Amino acid sequence: MSFFSFGQSAEIDVVLNDAETRKKAEHKTEDGKKDKYFLFYDGETVSGKVNVTLKNPGKRLEHQGIKIEFVGQIELYYDRGNHHEFVSLVKDLARPGEITQSQTLDFEFTHVEKPYESYTGQNVKLRYFLRATVVRRLNDISKEMDIVVHTLSTYPELNSSIKMEVGIEDCLHIEFEYNKSKYHLKDVIVGKIYFLLVRIKIKHMEIDIIKRETTGTGPSVYHENDTIAKYEIMDGAPVRGESIPIRLFLAGYDLTPTMRDINKKFSVRYYLNLVLIDEEERRYFKQQEITLWRKGDVVRKSMSHQAAIASQRFEGSAASESALEQAAREESG
């Protein structure tokens, strides 16, 4: 990682201990672009080194201490002056004094709680970062390093299908069915649409995936709807008794897990929107919420044990035993 200069006297840099082997994940920035960041999960240790490099070797650098912080925070774009921190850990690396030559300082945050997934949306951003600081009287020397956190879920035990009817009296009556109500991010939505009565001239039908981001509370609630995907089911007029299959692959779309009431600040929900358009351009639609969750890839041994440690921290020894059993099953599988 390249050095970044702050001030005239020194440069500060943060390097992770496992930077060579740790997986990276793409994450959207505020300007809509995607960058790659080191990927972490809840319960994993974050460790590394802080390098303080003097620009003029031999010249003294006085300081009030050197520290590193691990921060998880939520920023609401309409309230940018306030950052809501839900994780804030600090390690003092050096006492007040002076530096006469470049230094490397080790740090470790053990089994760090990272309860929420990293998220950048229309009105809100949830981020995790490391911030190393050389504290000075006039101007601190500081460097931030963002990381990305993914939250993994287990397969939902109850995952019933969705069956609904939609109709206009004496004009249209259809039934549609989706195979599940909960999908992982690389899943396939499978379903069927049955036309029981068709007396209007339908020319087009599609399914949209809509993301609804909700921020704020009370009178200051903001809703942002974003159409993530459009999937054409039919182009032309259906007839009574016709059945049309649906097969929508989610892996190609920019989706996050469903987030409900994150730290009392925001929610992200997903909906399947069935849209019919007749020859007079009238639109008929029916919306149904679905739950999205992130399924783990091949689980590394260390990751499984980190999950067990996190479980023990929050739920006690009994939960830890079940987590260890699950980790063993995942490794053997």
pLDDT band with cut points at 50, 70 and 90 for residue 315: very low
Q: Domains of the chain by range and CATH? A: 8-147 (2.60.40.640), 160-291 (2.60.40.640)
Greatest CA separation found in the chain? 89
Q: Per-residue pLDDT averaged across 207-228, rounded?
A: 90
Higher per-residue confidence, 43 vs 4: 43
State the Cα–Cα distance between residues 131 and 140, nearest whole angstrom.
12
Collapsed DSSP state (helix, strand, coil) of residue 250: coil
Is the pLDDT reported for residue 28 higher than 70? yes
| Both tokens assigned to 58 | 């031999």
3-class SS of residue 9: coil
**What is residue 297's predicted lDDT score, i.e. its pLDDT?**
64
**146 has pLDDT over 60:** yes
Owner of token pair 């079940």: 322
The band of 7, judged by pLDDT with boundaries at 50, 70 and 90, is very low
What pLDDT, on the 0 to 100 scale, is given for residue 195? 81
Q: Provide the residue type at 282 as one letter.
A: R
In this structure, are strands 283-293 and 182-184 parallel, antiparallel, or unpaired? parallel
User: Where is pLDDT greater, at 138 or 40?
Assistant: 40
Is 60 exceeded by the pLDDT of residue 333?
Answer: no
pLDDT digit string, tens, across residues 168-203: 777 778 888 899 999 999 999 999 988 887 777 777
Region of 65 please: left (phi>0), alpha (psi -120 to 50) or beta.
left
pTM: predicted TM-score of the whole model, two decimal places: 0.80
pLDDT tens digits, one per residue of 254-312: 999 999 999 999 999 999 998 888 788 878 788 899 999 998 764 444 444 544 544 44
What integer pLDDT is reported at residue 3 of this predicted model? 45
Cα angle at 287 between 285 and 292, to 5 degrees? Answer: 145
Query: What is the mean predicted confidence (pLDDT) over 25-31?
Result: 88
Give Cβ neighbours of residue 75 (< 8 Å, ≥ 6 apart): 83, 84, 124, 125, 126, 127
pLDDT recorded at residue 8: 57
pLDDT per position as a tens digit, 76-132:
988 877 889 999 999 999 999 988 888 999 999 999 999 999 999 999 999 999 999
Q: How far is CA 259 from CA 13, 119, 126, 189, 263, in A?
A: 33, 10, 12, 20, 10
